[in-house]
Every structure is written in C-alpha cells, then in structure tokens.
Structure 1
C-alpha cells in the first residue's frame, strides 16, 4: 500500500523509512483487518534524532485515517512501548512462527481497535515466503 510506505527526508536525502502492510487477525469469531509494521529503518547517523518516532507517529495517523484499528509488530518492546504497544499475549494474539513472545507486540489505534480481537496473525503471503 503506497499510502503506508513513508520516507523521512532531510536536505533532500532519505534518512528513514517505515512500511505498514495489510494483515489480519483470524480467530474463532472471524477475521479482523490489521496492519503489520516492518521495516522501520533510519540511517545510522540520523538515529537518536527523532526520525523513527516521527515516522511511527505519521504511519499510525495515516493508518487511523484509512480506518485501521490496530498494528501488529515483532520488534523491540522497549522502543515501541513509548507509542503504546503492548504484548500480543494480553489480547490472546499470536504469530505463526517461532519468536520470543516478549517481542510480539500490538497497538490499538482506536479505543476499541482490539476489543474482542484474538487469534493468529495472518501476514501477507510475501511475508511468509522464503
């Protein structure tokens, strides 16, 4: 989705990128659309200057504007906690591959974005190939 692929530029140079991809959370009650965040990247010399945070907040706002209620992420919880990410396990949400549960986090973009949502994340086929 081009609308969810954002670049950060400084002086005409790309210094960061974030991508949100369509996904779903499939459970006993059906399937709920969500987004998966990855990658978030910032050029090393620009790290620690707020570029990543601005990209995350801008991507979240764009996702809200498009009507999405949540974002799933396998990442560093200490970094993403500042944006409101919490453990997937708190919502009985899991990923279809082996990874530490500590790194599986989710964000409700709206007050009811995760209400009654539970199940397995179904990523885009391109995520699972290879």
Structure 2
C-alpha cells in the first residue's frame, strides 16, 4: 500500500487522535489513553515536531502515527540524551499492511539524520528486533519501572552509540501525568 509519511501538523491532531484511539481499542495491555499521552507530549519539552510522523492514504487522510520524544539515560549524575518510541498507531482497517514498519523506519532514519544516537522502546518482543532493537539490558540500561527485560529495548542509531552508556531511562513528565 502506498502511503505518504510526513511530520504531523496541528490540523492533523483530531484525526490522529481518532486513529490512535481506534488502534488501541482492542489492545489487552492498553489503558486506552495513548491519545492523551500524545497530547501531553506535544505540550512538553520532550516533543520534537519533526519526529511526530503521520502516515496518510491517497486521500491525505491520517491512517497511522508515530511519535519519538526526548528521554535521558541517567547514571551517577551523568545524563545521555536518547529518544523514546511511543506510541505507534495504525488504524485497524490498515493494520498488517506494513504501515507501522514504514513509519518506524522513516522515524529512525530522520532521528539519525537529526543527530540522535539511540532510541528506547517498550513493546512487543517479536516485532521491534527487526528494526535493530534488542533488550536495553544489553547495555545495562533499565526502565524506571518494573517491566520484563525482553520488552524494554533499545537500538543504536550510530555504531557504538550506547557502548559506554548505562543507567535508568528518565521519561518526560508527560508519561507520568
């Protein structure tokens, strides 16, 4: 399926919210508030407009959305900048067509071009490894909450970007509101 990928615009927000709500409506592990998380991130210092991507169909209607936002990895007072991939949403009628994969690939490419070094994700253990993600514990990077090791993952956007990095990921306040 041919889709267009671009940074979201304010006029997309309401349609994106509907895509996100519908994408997570049947997810067992969802609290059904992902659209509110996106809203909070947009209002925070963690928001990067060029890394909040929307996928549109041939009629320019949003059918998918992905957001990368700023996080830090903190260890003994040292902070390393990174990004969090969350959430990724595709409207149910467009799922299983590669749209999410296209959005992730595009976002990782854009993030690397912008100079970001790494990305963290909490997600499906069998989906994200195809994009280079592996358990964050491989670098001694931990989540700030209790989560199974195999679903908290990281990837390096540049070789050895996490070689000397360890610590706990600190998400923006938007994630805890």
Shorter-chain TM range is over 0.9
How many corresponding residue pairs? 129
Query: CA RMSD for the aligned pairs?
Result: 1.0
TM-score by length of 1: 0.95
Q: Deviations over 1:73-113 (max 9, x none)?
A: 11002000100100011110001112212210001011021
In the alignment, the residues of structure 2 paired with residue 117 and residue 28 of structure 1 have an alpha-carbon distance, to the nearest angstrom, of 11
TM-score by length of 2: 0.71
Counterpart position of 1:76: 124
Q: Deviations over 1:38-89 (max 9, x none)?
A: 0000111111111011100110011111111100011002000100100011
> Which has the larger strand fraction?
1
Counterpart position of 1:24: 72
In the alignment, the residues of structure 1 paired with residue 121 and residue 64 of structure 2 have an alpha-carbon distance, to the nearest angstrom, of 18
Counterpart position of 1:107: 155
In the alignment, the residues of structure 1 paired with residue 55 and residue 109 of structure 2 have an alpha-carbon distance, to the nearest angstrom, of 15
Q: 1:64 aligns with which of 112, 122, 126?
A: 112
In the alignment, the residues of structure 2 paired with residue 99 and residue 7 of structure 1 have an alpha-carbon distance, to the nearest angstrom, of 28
Bigger shift: 36-45 or 21-30?
21-30
In the alignment, the residues of structure 1 paired with residue 132 and residue 105 of structure 2 have an alpha-carbon distance, to the nearest angstrom, of 11
Q: 1:5 aligns with which of 38, 46, 52?
A: 52
Task: Please state if 1:88 is matched with 2:140.
Answer: no
In the alignment, the residues of structure 2 paired with residue 97 and residue 89 of structure 1 have an alpha-carbon distance, to the nearest angstrom, of 14
Q: 2:87 aligns with which of 39, 42, 59?
A: 39
| Gapped regions of structure 2 (runs ≥ 5) | 1-47
